[in-house]
């Protein structure tokens, strides 16, 4: 297949002119401030990672029972975007940094047209080659391109030079470099793109509906690279999550096309006022996501320095407050059992997606959980909410390949529910086991991949529920002291990294000499 480009000569001439004028005006909003690089502590490892995964435990409801129309995979872009402030778009390329960062850097300037469900975005990526290989191309994941017409790439520059040498096919964008990127060097990618959001179907979060717009996996990001193996960009499947992420630093500015709209934004980081826009910074995280709505009600609390905010819809005040308090308690429990909470904030967002979905310091919960909340801790709102909160550790802090080894985060997160209940509601532990695990009579190998089990129930039963049974059996076998010492050490050694099953077993062996061969034989593939 020949390399293709969406750039035309008139566009290139216009882009060069705009960049020149913007440069003369001294506009450098896309360029990170020096503090953006110097204030970031070095990462534990040069190749961190995990990925967002759904947390389905109850069977999915019939799509016909939802309050939103059927999905369409072919969103129609609005005829034109509103006039775009020069300060938000078409900025000059970011210069090559003097020092190579310790992990990828993403700088995004967003103009959000909430009414027309579209975004106009300038993105700068500073990507350091932390591998031992010279790279002739860079592969990015572009999830919005999986929806017809949702992603439109307008321009691309490599180290300040306009380029048309790339291939964009499905979720994969491969950018061919003019010269190889040697180990220890960095490349700067600048691009401008438009996103026209699809209608949010019953089984997806990305897009819009009558109540909100959800921006998850919305910007192109560099896939993890494994020396000698290549780029980690898996194909999607109906169950589980296929994306894998390097830890990265983010600087995001969001400006509303219509600033008179009363739009509330829930994001992966605390907001900092920035002129007419909103600025967010997030360090050593897997992804930056946000959700916007004119209908959100909010409630906030703190857990030490961590700000926790619940975003919910009218009529759901009681459950909105309840999940806020439960998640605050969970952060306290997990910080004690695993490691200090790794972010400055946690956002809990009510949505139409039929389950829970985590993105590190922000997660989504289905509106039906709020509707069905019964005023107790014995319901999906609380159990799945504290599960998603645990992903801040087993996804955000400690990553993994969630397509090939999803048990490394999902089994630990469902077992984190058990730890939450034994600490906070000890009289409900038996109820929890029956409600969440035993009631489904789970079977299957814990270490199944998303490609091994093609439907919801078998996948969930094996990876999540049998995973919880394995961790309980392991805890009983080695004792509480060794078990929790192992989890703390695992979190410490793998912080900022992408863990593997080999890492799990090796660190476990440091904390016990017990024979667990029968457990591995019972729960894991031969």
DSSP 8-state code for residue 217: S
Contact, 36 vs 105, CB < 8 A? yes
How large a percentage of the chain has pLDDT more than 70?
A: 81
SS3 of 262-312: the string is CCEEEECCCCEEECCEEEEEEEEECCCCEEEECCCEEEEEEECCEEEEEEE
Phi, psi torsion values for 265, nearest 5 degrees: -115, 125
Q: Write the pLDDT tens digit of every residue in 212-249.
A: 999 999 999 999 999 989 999 999 999 999 999 999 99
301-359 per-position pLDDT tens digit: 999 999 999 999 999 999 999 999 999 999 999 999 999 999 999 999 999 999 999 99
Neighbours of 95 (CB within 10 A): 11
For 116, the enclosing helix (H) or strand (E) is none
pLDDT score at 51: 35
Q: Is 8's pLDDT higher than 60?
A: no
Nearest to 463 by CA among 445, 475, 451: 445
Residue ranges of domains in the chain? 1-280
- Of 163, 156, 167, whose CA–CA distance to 178 is shortest? 163
The pLDDT score that the predictor gives to residue 99 is 81
For 443, the token pair is 């079977």
Q: Is the pLDDT assigned to residue 27 strictly greater than 80?
A: no
Predicted structure pTM score: 0.83
Query: Sign of dihedral through CA atoms 78, 80, 85, 88?
Result: positive
Query: 113: which residues sit within 8 A by CB, 6+ positions away?
Result: 78, 81, 82, 119, 120, 257, 258
Dihedral, CA of residue 269, residue 275, residue 276 and residue 277, to nearest 10: -20
What number of other Cβ atoms are within 10 A of residue 293's Cβ?
24
| Per-residue confidence band for 98, with pLDDT thresholds at 50, 70 and 90 | low
Q: What is the pLDDT of residue 202?
A: 80
């Amino acid at each position: 297949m020949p390399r293709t480009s969406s750039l035309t000569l008139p566009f290139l001439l216009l882009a060069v002119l705009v960049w020149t004028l913007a440069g003369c005006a001294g506009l450098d909003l896309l360029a990170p401030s020096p503090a953006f690089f110097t204030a970031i502590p070095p990462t534990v490892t040069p190749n961190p990672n995990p990925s967002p995964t759904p947390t389905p435990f109850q069977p999915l409801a019939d799509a016909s029972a939802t309050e939103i129309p059927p999905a369409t995979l072919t969103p129609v872009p609005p005829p034109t975007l509103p006039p775009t402030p020069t300060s938000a778009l078409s900025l000059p390329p970011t210069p090559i940094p003097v020092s190579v960062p310790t992990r990828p850097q993403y700088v995004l300037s967003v103009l959000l047209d909430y009414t027309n469900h579209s975004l106009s975005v300038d993105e700068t990526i500073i990507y350091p080659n932390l591998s031992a290989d010279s790279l002739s191309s860079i592969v990015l994941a572009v999830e919005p391109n999986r929806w017809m017409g949702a992603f439109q790439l307008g321009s691309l520059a490599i180290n300040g030079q306009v380029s048309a040498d790339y291939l964009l096919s499905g979720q994969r964008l491969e950018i061919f470099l003019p010269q190889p990127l040697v180990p220890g060097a960095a490349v700067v990618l600048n691009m401008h793109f438009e996103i026209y959001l699809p209608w949010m179907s019953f089984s997806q979060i990305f897009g819009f509906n009558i109540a909100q717009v959800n921006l998850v996996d919305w910007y192109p990001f560099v896939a993890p690279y494994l020396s000698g193996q290549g780029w980690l960009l898996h194909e999607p499947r109906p169950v589980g999550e296929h994306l894998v992420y390097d830890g990265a630093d983010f600087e995001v500015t969001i400006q509303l096309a219509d600033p008179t709209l009363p739009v509330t934004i829930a994001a992966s980081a605390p907001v900092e006022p920035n002129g007419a826009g909103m600025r967010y910074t997030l360090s050593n995280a897997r992804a930056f996501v946000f959700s916007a709505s004119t209908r959100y009600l909010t409630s906030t609390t703190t857990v030490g320095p961590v700000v926790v905010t619940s975003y919910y819809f009218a009529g759901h005040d009681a459950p909105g407050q309840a999940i806020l308090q439960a998640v605050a308690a969970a952060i306290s429990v997990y910080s004690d059992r695993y490691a200090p909470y790794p972010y400055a904030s946690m956002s809990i967002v009510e949505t139409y997606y039929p389950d829970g979905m985590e993105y590190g310091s922000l997660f989504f919960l289905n509106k039906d959980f709020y509707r069905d909340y019964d005023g107790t801790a014995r319901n999906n709102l609380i159990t799945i909410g504290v599960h998603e909160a645990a992903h801040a550790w087993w996804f955000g802090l400690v990553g993994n390949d969630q397509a090939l080894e999803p048990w490394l985060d999902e089994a630990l997160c469902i077992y984190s529910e058990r730890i939450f209940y034994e600490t906070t509601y000890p009289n409900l532990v038996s109820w929890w086991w029956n409600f969440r695990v035993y009631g489904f009579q789970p079977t299957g190998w814990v270490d199944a991949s998303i490609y091994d089990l093609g439907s919801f129930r078998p996948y969930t039963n094996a990876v999540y529920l049998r995973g919880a049974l394995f961790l309980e059996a392991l805890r009983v076998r080695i004792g509480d002291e060794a078990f929790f010492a192992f989890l703390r050490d695992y979190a410490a050694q793998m912080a900022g990294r992408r863990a593997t099953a080999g890492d799990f077993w090796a660190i476990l062996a440091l904390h016990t000499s017990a024979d667990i061969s029968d457990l591995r034989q019972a729960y894991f593939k031969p």
